[in-house]
Chains A and B, each alone.
Chain A
Amino acid sequence: MTLEAPRASTTQFDTDELVINMGPQHPSTHGVLRVVLKLDGERVIDADCVIGYIHRGIEKLSENRDWTQIILLTDRMDYVAAATNNLGYCQTVEKLMQIEVPRRARYLRTVLAELQRIASHCLWLGTHAMDIGAMTVLLYAFREREFVLDLFEEFCGARLTYNSMRIGGLPLDIPPGWDKKVLSFCDLMEGKLNDYETLLTNNRIWLKRTRDVGVISGDEAIGLGLCGPPLRGSGVPRDVRKDEPYAAYDELEFNVPLGTRGDTYDRYLIRMDEFRESIRLVRQAVEGIPEGPIMGKVPRLIKPPAGETYHAIESPKGELGYFIVSDGKSTNPYRFRVRPPSFCNLQGLKRLVTGHLVADVVALIGTIDIVLGEVDR
């Protein structure tokens, strides 16, 4: 029996990067987003977003529906902010047909859009906090979102896909006493916002998890085509409501909160401020609702003249634009294209997560506030 000479160690430690697949079924990718992460230890060195899991062809479908039916399809894009989608579409067609919308309808639309912003931000806040581990905020935020859904239900009968607007105005006037309920909701919401902030804003762990995470400069944010709170978080004063006022925004007073550092915490603070600005807007709009009709003069058969137009509004997630081409002959659009804010903001994800840890990925997916229904359409 002989002893074998010990073998020289030729094996080295395997230091390849680890590729992990986050999604499409993952609790915090907010839907069916799939992110292929390349990790070095726990640090992300590359991220690749794979989208399209709930592509329903809304744009192509719209080209085969008549103009009023499309409103219903826009509900299904950003399904947590359906009223804003309706608003954007209706205004684009109104712009194409040069329809004058009555002042009362414009005020009511503003109320609906801002209530929708509150509901959408509630959902963002809850899921964002949940991703970072603060589970109670989720339940609190959903409790308040429920009140907004109740208000919408009373207005149009639906709780999620509202189909709440029409080309030229609104389908229904508000039910009696609805405005009082909206105002009392505003009072309630202001108190609840302070509750959320008590749990998060000065919480040391929250600060540690969001401060200096996903920093992006203003120039870079513009370069990536970011919009909405992620853009304003980097200090770029771009808000369609201010820059190109629509509905009743030019008659109401509100501020556009801006960030300074462009990190996740700034984006959080901005959205918290936007809650307050939205409440302020809703109050002003509800108190200022003028008397009058709720529908403008709209032909029975909607058939816009030949031409094309682009119109953008500020949805809760950012700049929501519609590009519509009409050939002037048929009762459906020749080309229908949406510029969805979630899709554009998702482009920034790769830039944001590179160099951060796995745990930050979920925080950053939360901070850009995407809805996959809108990304894929």
Chain B
Amino acid sequence: MLETIVVPLAKIVVLLNAVLVAVTFLVLMERKVIAWAQSRLGPMRVGPYGILQAIADPIKLILKEDITPRKADKYVFTLAPIMSLVPALVVFAVVPFGPDPFYYLSDINVGLLFIISVTSIGVYGIILGGWASNSKYPLLASLRASAQLISYEIAVTMTLVSVILTTGTLSLVGIVEAQREGGLWFAFVQPVALMLVFIGGLAETNRAPFDLPEAETELTGGFHTEYSGMRFSLFFLAEYANMIVISAIVVIMFFGGWLQPFPNVPALAFLGFVPPWIWFIGKIFLFLYVFIWIRATLPRYRYDQLMALGWKVLIPVAIGNLVVTGILKVAL
């Protein structure tokens, strides 16, 4: 009873809250980092150095009026933000924060497949949101979004297959363990795959330079133009939760998950005093920082260029990487 119901439930509650709190602080982090990149201060008013802005923002969004346009499809309009947030949160069920079962909810043997399939559901939220708004700009944006997410998913999935080939397991815990046994992070074994997954991840989370579905300067906000209040913030939460998911995937697949750097080098063994989950979260935030850094630096791709990059560059390279990995796997 205690082991089967209470403990998992408690873990779920803690995990969900941790993710949501992390998301609110991630928004603050994004605003601060971009502000520093642009020689500004960023939020400074709420709390010391604006730290409490992370709490003020959600309160503001909850209190705002929740508008449904008269011509919108009411049920789908409400369903869409939920559909985009839920998959982003469900994914955390299989993300391992540390080596022993205390640090994860479940270690299923198709963990990676689970992540890939569940995150794909999120695109429905965007399509339905744009469609249900019954407005032209959101419709255009959601069409872009669906095309973009589907094309980049192919590249990312195909790249992840090459990592699976190397490890022989789909379990996320297994993938990290394989890196521990090999003594080498897969970032060094599969550098091409790392680049592909990272670029694809940027595109799948609608982040700059691939933030076309919400290109505010072209489409006045993109698929969530007609949304306000809490429903808008659900889309917002989903986007940032997805960023965390993509960073987590990159860290698990390529940067050794919870492992300390160079786990087999005795000289670096003193790094073991840091608990594994700190390593994991630290690495995730490092990648989140890179996400934000890129947003502050690069202009945006155009829609056709984005598709060309996805289909003509990333997918062929992903296939090539897969083939080379397969050949090496058989040959060695």
* Residues in chain B near residue A360, CB distance under 8 A: 302
* Residues in chain B near residue A134, CB distance under 8 A: 297-300
**Known A139-B38, A143-B39, A357-B303; contact A205-B216, beta-carbon cutoff 8 A:** no
* Residues in chain A near residue B295, CB distance under 8 A: 135
* Residues in chain B near residue A129, CB distance under 8 A: 299
Decide: B220 and A26 in contact? CB cutoff 8 A.
yes
* Residues in chain A near residue B4, CB distance under 8 A: none
Decide: B218 and A362 in contact? CB cutoff 8 A.
yes
Q: How far does the alpha carbon of A201 sit from the alpha carbon of B212 in the complex, in Å?
A: 22
Proximity bits, B274-311, A CB within 8 Å = 1, else 0: 00000000000000000000011111111111000000
**Known A18-B136, A20-B137; contact A362-B299, beta-carbon cutoff 8 A:** no
Decide: B215 and A208 in contact? CB cutoff 8 A.
no
Q: How far does the alpha carbon of A357 sit from the alpha carbon of B306 in the complex, in Å?
A: 13
* Chain A min CB distance to B202 (Å): 12
Which of B40, B215, B297 lies in contact with A199, CB distance below 8 A?
B297
Decide: A136 and B297 in contact? CB cutoff 8 A.
yes
Q: 9 closest Cβ contacts across the A-B interface?
A: A133-B300, A139-B38, A134-B299, A28-B217, A133-B299, A132-B299, A359-B302, A131-B217, A205-B299
B140 CB-CB contact with A under 8 Å: yes
Q: How far does the alpha carbon of A359 sit from the alpha carbon of B141 in the complex, in Å?
A: 11
**Known A133-B299, A136-B38, A139-B40; contact A358-B217, beta-carbon cutoff 8 A:** no
B89 CB-CB contact with A under 8 Å: no
* Residues in chain A near residue B297, CB distance under 8 A: 134, 136, 199
Proximity bits, A276-311, B CB within 8 Å = 1, else 0: 000000000000000000000000000000000000
Which of A136, A206, A357 lies in contact with B296, CB distance below 8 A?
A136
* Chain A min CB distance to B47 (Å): 24
Decide: A135 and B296 in contact? CB cutoff 8 A.
yes
Q: List 30 A-B contacts (CB under 8 A).
A: A18-B136, A18-B140, A27-B220, A28-B218, A42-B303, A130-B217, A131-B218, A132-B299, A134-B297, A134-B298, A134-B300, A135-B38, A135-B296, A136-B38, A136-B296, A139-B38, A140-B38, A140-B39, A203-B298, A203-B299, A205-B299, A206-B299, A208-B301, A209-B299, A209-B301, A357-B302, A358-B218, A358-B219, A358-B303, A361-B218
Q: Is the interface of B mostly helix, strand, loop or mixed?
A: helix
Q: How far does the alpha carbon of A360 sit from the alpha carbon of B301 in the complex, in Å?
A: 11
Decide: A205 and B301 in contact? CB cutoff 8 A.
yes
Which of A28, A206, A358, A362 lies in contact with B140, CB distance below 8 A?
A358
Q: Which of A42, A129, A143 has most B Cβ within 10 Å?
A: A42
Proximity bits, B87-131, A CB within 8 Å = 1, else 0: 000000000000000000000000000000000000000000000
Q: Which of A27, A135, A358 has most B Cβ within 10 Å?
A: A135
Q: Which of B34, B39, B209 has most A Cβ within 10 Å?
A: B209
* Residues in chain B near residue A358, CB distance under 8 A: 140, 218-219, 303
Q: How far does the alpha carbon of A214 sit from the alpha carbon of B216 in the complex, in Å?
A: 22
* Residues in chain A near residue B208, CB distance under 8 A: 133
Q: How far does the alpha carbon of A357 sit from the alpha carbon of B302 in the complex, in Å?
A: 8
Proximity bits, B186-223, A CB within 8 Å = 1, else 0: 00000000000000000000001101100111111000
* Residues in chain B near residue A357, CB distance under 8 A: 302-304
* Residues in chain B near residue A20, CB distance under 8 A: 136-137, 140
Closest to A139 in B: B38
* Residues in chain B near residue A143, CB distance under 8 A: 39
* Residues in chain B near residue A203, CB distance under 8 A: 298-299
Q: How far does the alpha carbon of A209 sit from the alpha carbon of B298 in the complex, in Å?
A: 12
* Residues in chain A near residue B220, CB distance under 8 A: 26-27
* Chain B min CB distance to A251 (Å): 38
Q: How far does the alpha carbon of A206 sit from the alpha carbon of B140 in the complex, in Å?
A: 23
B269 CB-CB contact with A under 8 Å: no
* Residues in chain B near residue A130, CB distance under 8 A: 217
B37 CB-CB contact with A under 8 Å: yes
* Chain A min CB distance to B38 (Å): 4
Q: How far does the alpha carbon of A132 sit from the alpha carbon of B305 in the complex, in Å?
A: 13
Q: How far does the alpha carbon of A132 sit from the alpha carbon of B215 in the complex, in Å?
A: 9
**Known A27-B220, A28-B218, A357-B304; contact A133-B140, beta-carbon cutoff 8 A:** no
* Chain B min CB distance to A307 (Å): 48
A residues 337-377 touching B (CB-CB < 8 Å): 357-362
* Residues in chain A near residue B212, CB distance under 8 A: 359
Which of A27, A200, A208, A361 lies in contact with B216, CB distance below 8 A?
A27
A residues 151-190 touching B (CB-CB < 8 Å): none
Decide: A133 and B209 in contact? CB cutoff 8 A.
yes
Decide: B218 and A205 in contact? CB cutoff 8 A.
no
Q: How far does the alpha carbon of A135 sit from the alpha carbon of B304 in the complex, in Å?
A: 21
* Chain B min CB distance to A41 (Å): 9
Q: How far does the alpha carbon of A313 sit from the alpha carbon of B301 in the complex, in Å?
A: 37
* Chain A min CB distance to B300 (Å): 3
Q: How far does the alpha carbon of A46 sit from the alpha carbon of B321 in the complex, in Å?
A: 44
Q: Which of B38, B219, B299 has most A Cβ within 10 Å?
A: B299
* Chain B min CB distance to A194 (Å): 16
* Residues in chain B near residue A18, CB distance under 8 A: 136, 140
B residues 2-17 touching A (CB-CB < 8 Å): none
* Chain B min CB distance to A349 (Å): 16
Which of A133, A205, A361 lies in contact with B211, CB distance below 8 A?
A133
* Chain B min CB distance to A141 (Å): 11
Closest to B212 in A: A359
* Residues in chain A near residue B219, CB distance under 8 A: 358
* Residues in chain B near residue A206, CB distance under 8 A: 299
A residues 318-350 touching B (CB-CB < 8 Å): none
Q: Which of B40, B216, B302 has most A Cβ within 10 Å?
A: B302
Closest to A18 in B: B136
* Residues in chain A near residue B136, CB distance under 8 A: 18, 20
Q: How far does the alpha carbon of A115 sit from the alpha carbon of B38 in the complex, in Å?
A: 23
Closest to A210 in B: B299
Proximity bits, A29-44, B CB within 8 Å = 1, else 0: 0000000000000100
Closest to A28 in B: B217
Closest to A135 in B: B296
* Residues in chain A near residue B305, CB distance under 8 A: 208-209
